[in-house]
Structure 1
Amino acid sequence: MLETYIRVTLFVVFLLAFIVQLYYLISSHKSLSSYIVPDELPDVKIPISIIISARNEAKNLNENLPFILQQNYPDFEVVVINDCSYDSSDIVLEVLKETYPHLKIVTITEHERFKTGKKFALTLGIKAAKSEHLIFTDADCRPASSNWITRMAAHFNNEVHIVLGYSPYYKTGNFLNSIIRFETLKTAINYLSAALNGGAYMGIGRNLGYTKTLFFANKGFAAHMHVISGDDDLFVNQNATATNTDIEIHQDAFVFTSAKTTLGALYRQKKRHMGVGKLYKNTHRYMLSFDALSGFVFYGLLIWSLAYYFEPLFALGLFFFRWIIQIIIYRKTFKKLNSASQLWCLPFFDFVYYIYINVFGFIGTFVKTTQWK
């Protein structure tokens, strides 16, 4: 009798997890699927400052910065904060400045009594920027086209002060790269959909815009300066509203970077990223936690149902029904985000994704990071 009760209880939990997952698909992710991406290049000329914080990034600056400096935009500057670098970053930047006078260099030197971090560096860069409208990226990033600034800048107006972009990873042939790219894709679907639904909760610092007025009116990073990470997602989480945030997902406006190639490097990166989630607003933490846990429970109890032969046909029916709904909703979204090839491996990647984010979420909750670079 007790065994039957336990089995029935677990199956009810499985049903609840299925319902929660269906809710996220239909109520949230559907908005991104129906979002129309304007193809016509907008006519925009507002002054823009690109902000890049770089520590020991000589190679990346040399390879990627010219693609940013050569953007097809009438009025912009690129502010690079050379944050206590001890490689040849200073030389690379000075050489580039000879060719590109709209490059502005801000140099921070190491001080034995004062520890700097990315938020401090970005704050100095923002203060040095001449423009009201700011776009952020990293030294290891490269825009997909020369129209990146135009696409991002077009969203700024009297009401919109935050623009969320998309930053995918370059595709390679290995398994780890496929998992990382899928996790990035699902993360983007979550935060872009939330923004469209009036509940923006994060952005990605590799492709993010906001105004100087918003930054200083809300005291910059002061509320979370003690946290190593969060210069992007925590800032958006604390300052985004239903009306001051917009998204840009035209493929011209993508900003690409290379994914980590080893588990050790990925662990260090995700440990840094996941640790800030506990500082999100409660509504956002609950939303993300329910999604992560319900997905994990759904797959775990699906396997349990099949392994113990407890209503296996019904369990498989729910799995295939959810898969069909995913394909219907994600088909257009994956295409917009240039990831259509991953749609047909969705069940496998989705399964790994929910294990992945729960494991790193657990690690991020209990393990602290002490440096940003």
Structure 2
Amino acid sequence: MMIISTTTIIAGAVVVLLAVLGSLINPFLRSLRFQKTETAENQPPVSILITAHDNLAELERNLPMFLRQQYAADYQVIVVCQSTDGETQDFLKRTAENPHLYYTYIPESSRYMSRKKLQITLGVKAAKHEWIILTEPNCRPSNDKWLQTMVRQCQDPNHLVLGYVALDEETKSVRRFDSIRKAYYVLRRAQQTYGYRSHMPNVAFRKSDFMKEQGYQGNLEYVRGEYDFLVNKYAHYGETATELDCDAWLIREAPSNKSWHNAHLYLQASRKSLERAGSMRTLMFFDHLMPHLSLIATLAVAAYSILMKNWILTGCAGFSFLLLFIVRMLIANKAIRHFDDGIAMFKLPFFEYGIIWRNLATKLRYWRADKNDFTSHKL
């Protein structure tokens, strides 16, 4: 007769319980609201702001999609480029016959501050409409209904609207996964309480708010982080909305390795100045802790039980391992299918457990980098 010891019962129960907790403490289980909103009868006039810096190829591909939106009210597309970028200016001059297009540029003499933030500030001042949607040259609307869908939330009491940006199919699947996972954090936070930040260039805000609060005043020393600081400063409780309808999506071209890594490095530099960061970082810490704690405990129990030839405990460890991986895989797969159905399901657990190593690599790159590269030396 097989005798099951108290140690076996306790260790088996603990490892299974940790597998359950490691599966359920999961950002993909915190659902987003995919609300159904009717298109407003009285659509507000809108300004679309695009900042360009050596982005001629992207503008040639994507700007026409912004200029042929089906929109009942007036809208303008403002492109702000560098004064030294003659080829881009020539292209904009040739396209200027479109009544929706307006372009300007920042002078060559603008130094010792973030040129990106200066471009946005000049673009906001040039905007003739109250609502402004900020985006990038490497983004394109998913269809010609993007604008009318995005502005459904541009009404009282909202002062800021976060839209979704999908990475195109040429982007590595692990990067698409990382972007979606971050979206679950920032979009749900915006839906529940205050907006924290956004890594997606599809943000609508009010010109009057930007001018009243002096734009990026308070974080001008940082070269980048324009979307993070915009959301962090202007997303107030009860006045922030999200628009997740697929017609309101922008599609972003696959980033280069350099631009992808640089975006993470700039976040490392600027996030210490973001407000309301503590609660978000604590939540993300526990989301990482529990599945890894469960995995380590499962592997330790499995190794111990095999050495002791305790096959019942080995079975508990094997069951816990399968439970953890399969449940997390199914939960992640269901969640990301709202945004991307091209990521293979079997890869998802490996993408999730690889996050801490990718984060560690980013921290090492930031540690080795020259910190002056992330500041404008203004202050």
Superposition TM-score tier, normalisation by shorter sequence: 0.7 to 0.9
Counterpart among 216, 219, 231 of residue 221 in structure 1 = 216
Q: Matches of residues 30-41 of structure 1 in structure 2 within 5 Å?
A: 30-32=30-32, 35-38=33-36, 41=39
Determine the C-alpha separation between the residues in 2 that align with 1:187 and 1:325.
20
Tell me which residue corresponds to 2:96.
97
Which consecutive unaligned segments of at least 5 residues does structure 1 have? 1-7
| TM-score normalized with structure 1 length | 0.82
Partner of 2:5: none
- Secondary structure of the structure 2 residue equivalent to 1:356: helix
Asked if structure 2 preserves the Cα contact closer than 8 Å seen for 1:292 and 1:358, the reply is no
Aligned residue number for residue 125 of structure 1 = 123
Out of 348, 351, 355, the residue aligned to residue 349 of structure 1 is 351
Q: Is the 8 A contact 2:83 2:106 kept in 1?
A: yes
- Corresponding residue number in structure 2 for 1:207: 202
Pair 1:316–1:371, CA change in 2 (3 A): same
Q: Residue 17 and residue 330 in structure 1: after superposition, are their counterparts in 2 closer, same or farther (change >3 A)?
A: closer
What TM-score do the two structures reach when normalised by structure 2? Answer: 0.81
Partner of 2:77: 78
Q: Does the Cα contact within 8 Å between 1:295 and 1:354 map onto a contact in 2?
A: no
Taking the aligned partners of 1:88 and 1:296, their CA distance within structure 2 comes to 51
User: How big is the shift at 1:345?
Assistant: 2.9
On the 8 A contact 2:160/2:241 being kept in 1, the answer is: yes
Q: In structure 2, give the amino acid aligned to 1:351.
A: Y
The reply on whether 1:244 has 2:239 as its aligned counterpart is: yes
Q: Does 1:88 align with 2:87?
A: yes
User: Residue 349 of structure 1: CA displacement?
Assistant: 1.9
Q: Secondary structure at the match of 1:243?
A: coil
- What count of residue pairs does the alignment treat as equivalent? 355
Shift of 1:181: 0.7
Change (3 A) 1:260 1:293: farther
Change in CA separation of 1:42 and 1:308 when aligned onto 2, cut-off 3 Å: farther
**TM-align CA RMSD:** 3.3
Cα separation, partners in 2 of 1:213 and 1:297, compared to 1, 3 Å: farther
Cα gap change, 1:297 to 1:51, in 2 (>3 Å): farther
Q: What is the DSSP-based 3-state SS (H/G/I as helix, E as strand, rest coil) of the residue aligned with 2:30? A: helix
Contact 2:58/2:137 (CA < 8 Å) preserved in 1? yes
- 1:339–1:237 CA distance, 2 compared to 1 (3 A): farther
- Equivalent residue, structure 2, for 1:5: none
Deviations 1:152-201 (A, max 9, x none): 111022211111111111113xxx71111111111111111222222431
- Tell me which residue corresponds to 2:309: none
Quote the Cα distance in structure 2 between the aligned partners of 1:366 and 1:17.
37
Instruction: Measure how far apart 1:351 and its partner are.
Output: 1.7
Q: 1:334 offset after TM fit, Å?
A: 2.1
C-alpha distance in 2 between matches for 1:316 and 1:52: 53
1:222-371 residue pairs with structure 2 within 5 A? 222-262=217-257, 264-280=258-274, 281=276, 282-292=278-288, 294=290, 299=295, 306=302, 313-323=315-325, 325-326=327-328, 329-339=331-341, 341-361=343-363, 363-364=365-366, 367=369, 368=371, 370=373
Change (3 A) 1:217 1:315: farther
Q: 1:239 to 1:356 in 2, by over 3 A?
A: same
Q: How much has 1:44 moved relative to structure 2?
A: 4.7
Q: What is the distance in 2 between the residues matched to 1:200 and 1:113? A: 31
Name the counterpart of 1:52: 50
Question: Kindly, what percent of the aligned residue pairs are identical?
Answer: 26
Change (3 A) 1:134 1:21: farther
In 2, are the aligned partners of 1:278 and 1:365 still within 8 Å (CA)? no
Q: Which has the higher contact order (CA 8 A, sep 6+)?
A: 2
Q: Distance in 2 between matches of 1:14 and 1:227?
A: 46
Give, in angstroms, the shift of residue 249 of structure 1: 1.4
Q: CA deviation at 1:78?
A: 0.6
The answer (yes or no) to whether the contact 1:49–1:130 under 8 Å persists in 2 is yes
Q: Verify the 8 A CA contact 2:167 2:176 in the aligned structure 1.
A: yes
Distance 2:20 2:273 in 1: 28
Change (3 A) 1:213 1:112: closer
- The letter for the 1-side match of 2:79 is V
Larger Rg: 2
Q: Is the 8 A contact 1:141 1:257 kept in 2?
A: yes
Contact 1:166/1:254 (<8 A) preserved: yes
- The runs of 5 or more residues in structure 2 that have no matched partner are 1-9, 307-312
CA deviation string 1:68-103 (max 9, x = no partner): 1111112210111113443511111111112x1221
Deviation at 1:67, TM superposition (A): 0.5
8 Å contact 1:144–1:252 — kept in the other structure?
A: yes
Give yes or no for contact 2:114–2:221 (8 Å, CA) kept in 1. no
1:340 and 1:63 map into 2 onto residues whose CA distance is: 24
Instruction: Provide the secondary structure at the position in 2 that maps to 1:260.
Output: coil
Alpha-carbon deviation of 1:217?
3.1
Counterpart in the other structure of 1:157: 155
2:173 maps to a residue whose letter is S
Equivalent pair of 1:56/1:87 in contact (CA under 8 Å): no
Distance in 2, matches of 1:288 and 1:188, equals 13
